[in-house]
Amino acid sequence: MIRSVAGALALLALCCMAVPAGARPVSVGECAACHGEDGIARDVEVPHLAGQNERYLYNQMLAFRSGKRPHKEMRVMSRQMTNEEMAALAAYYAALPPR
Ligand code: HEC
Per residue in 62-76, pLDDT (tens digit) is 999 999 999 999 999
Which residue out of 9, 19, 35, 78 has the highest number of ligand 1 atoms within 8 Å of its CB and is therefore the one to mutate?
Answer: 35
> Which distant-in-sequence residues (6+ apart) come within 8 Å of 17 by Cβ?
none
* Residues 76/9, Cβ–Cβ less than 8 Å: yes
Distance of CA 28 to the CA centre of its chain: 6
Q: Domain limits at 59? A: 2-95
- CA gap 53, 35 in Å, rounded: 16
- Number of structural domains in the chain: 1
User: Could you report the per-residue pLDDT of 8-25, keeping only the tens digit for each?
Assistant: 666 655 544 454 555 678
Residue nearest to atom 14 of ligand 1 (CA): 46
> What CATH number has the domain bearing residue 74?
1.10.760.10
Hey, how many other C-beta atoms are within 10 angstroms of the C-beta on 12? Answer: 18
pTM, two decimal places: 0.83
